[in-house]
């Protein structure tokens, strides 16, 4: 069993500059871990096996948060399946193998709710994994994430490495990607309403009927640190809020916050994706953790971040 996470632990946040990784860095700082190990993209390409091995052997972390990934919204996912599959597969395989070889105590692998079958019973329990076909629009990403969590389980069984895989619902928050071609729906809508302004029209994709569960990334980071601190926690666990909204409801909410006088038009030529992926969060609830940031509050703070960081947000 690995030692519990403490202020003196050697912690590596892989993917520290991304949406999830930067939230983990903020959350660790609150616990006194102010200088976790980090490596920029330029210094370390996690798709490269020998440099990943060498980096981990040199820095010898005790805890690893694996939040590095190639991610994107529905269009980016379906137009770059090779990148999404290859990058995420290599990152997971290289990091997990190097962690096992270097004797890392505990690894927290970040997955995604898209790993579950498209037609899984709602809310989705962890047991639904591999019981049916995946949603085609993000199949490549989902397969890579399924391999990551299965590889984690295999290293746990065969080599005794302590691995926890967390499956979050749709993430959003400060540091999100607001590029309209690549982003997920929530940051895309913030940007579209901001740019439409009063009286302008915002085009929202699809039918508005799909339901999504949005988890603020600070809640995710809190859940991961919570799991890292529990010596007995292991295996796979869903992390979400337990509630979802339709895309039409989300669009209304973002409109109210960002540009109440704007109008909404629907582009039905764009894909809806999976109809619903609400997570059953009872495992986390039973452990004593629940999400704290409500959707409206989370959208407001993300909107504030967007306005305060024009350079980063509007790349």
Which residues are known catalytic residues?
Answer: 141
The only residue of 188, 194, 215, 254 in contact with ligand GDP, by rule CB under 6 A: 188
Stretches 51-59, 126-134, 198-206, 290-298: which one binds ligand GDP (CB under 6 A)?
198-206
73 binds ligand GDP (CB under 6 A): yes
Report the C-alpha dihedral over residues 65, 67, 68, 70, rounded to 10 degrees: 160
Alpha carbon distance 227, 35 (integer Å): 20
- How do beta strands 106-110 and 201-205 pair? unpaired
Q: What are phi and psi of 203, to 5 degrees?
A: -95, 120
Alpha carbon distance 34, 54 (integer Å): 24
170 binds ligand GDP (CB under 6 A): yes
Alpha carbon distance 3, 259 (integer Å): 49
Between residues 91 and 278, which has the closer beta carbon with respect to ligand GDP? 278
User: What does the block give as tokens for 312?
Assistant: 């980063």
What is the x/- site pattern for ligand GDP, positions 121-160, by CB under 6 A?
-----------------x----------------------
Between residues 190 and 284, which has the closer beta carbon with respect to ligand GDP? 190
272 binds ligand GDP (CB under 6 A): yes
Q: Give the residue nearest to ligand GDP (CB).
A: 73
276 binds ligand GDP (CB under 6 A): no
Alpha carbon distance 62, 11 (integer Å): 6
Residues 202-241 that bind ligand GDP (CB under 6 A): 204-206, 210, 212
Nearest distance from C-beta of residue 205 to ligand GDP, angstroms: 4
Nearest of 259, 239, 245 to residue 108 by alpha carbon: 239
The only residue of 22, 52, 88, 183 in contact with ligand GDP, by rule CB under 6 A: 183
Residue 145 CB-density burial (10 A; 0-12 exposed, 13-18 middle, 19+ buried): buried
Stretches 6-14, 123-131, 199-207, 306-314: which one binds ligand GDP (CB under 6 A)?
199-207
Between residues 24 and 114, which has the closer beta carbon with respect to ligand GDP? 114
74 binds ligand GDP (CB under 6 A): yes
Q: Could you write out the DSSP letters of every residue in 117-155?
A: -TT--SSBPGGGTTSSPPPGGGHHHHHHHHHHHHHHHHH
> Which residues form the interface with ligand GDP (CB under 6 A)?
73-74, 114, 138, 170, 183-185, 188, 204-206, 210, 212, 247, 270-273
């Amino acid at each position: 069993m690995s030692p519990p996470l403490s202020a003196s632990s050697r912690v590596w946040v892989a993917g520290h500059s991304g949406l999830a990784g930067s939230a983990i860095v903020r959350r660790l700082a609150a616990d006194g871990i102010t200088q976790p190990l980090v490596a920029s993209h330029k210094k370390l390409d996690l798709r490269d096996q020998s440099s990943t091995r060498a980096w981990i052997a040199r820095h010898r972390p005790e805890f690893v948060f694996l939040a590095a990934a190639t991610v994107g919204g529905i269009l980016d996912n379906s137009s770059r399946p090779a990148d999404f599959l290859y990058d995420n597969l290599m990152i997971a395989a290289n990091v997990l193998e190097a962690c096992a070889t270097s004797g890392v105590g505990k690894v927290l692998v970040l997955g995604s709710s898209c790993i579950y079958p498209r037609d899984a019973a709602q809310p989705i329990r962890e047991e639904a994994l591999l019981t049916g076909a995946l949603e085609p629009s993000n199949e490549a990403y989902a397969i890579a994430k399924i391999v990551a969590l299965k590889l984690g389980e295999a290293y746990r069984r065969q080599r005794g490495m302590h691995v926890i895989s967390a499956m979050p619902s749709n993430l959003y928050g400060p540091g999100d990607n607001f590029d309209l071609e690549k982003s997920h729906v929530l940051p895309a809508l913030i940007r579209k309403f901001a740019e439409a302004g009063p009286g302008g029209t915002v085009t929202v994709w699809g039918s508005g009927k799909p339901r999504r569960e949005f988890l603020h990334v600070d809640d995710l980071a809190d859940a991961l640190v919570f799991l890292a601190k529990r010596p007995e926690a292991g295996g796979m666990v869903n992390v979400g809020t337990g509630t979802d909204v339709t895309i039409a409801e989300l669009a209304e909410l973002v409109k109210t916050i960002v540009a109440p006088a704007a109008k909404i038009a629907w582009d039905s030529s764009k894909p809806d994706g999976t109809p619903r992926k609400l997570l059953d969060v009872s495992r986390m609830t039973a452990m004593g953790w629940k999400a704290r940031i409500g959707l409206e509050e989370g959208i407001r703070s993300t909107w504030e971040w967007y306005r305060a960081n024009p350079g980063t947000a509007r790349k």
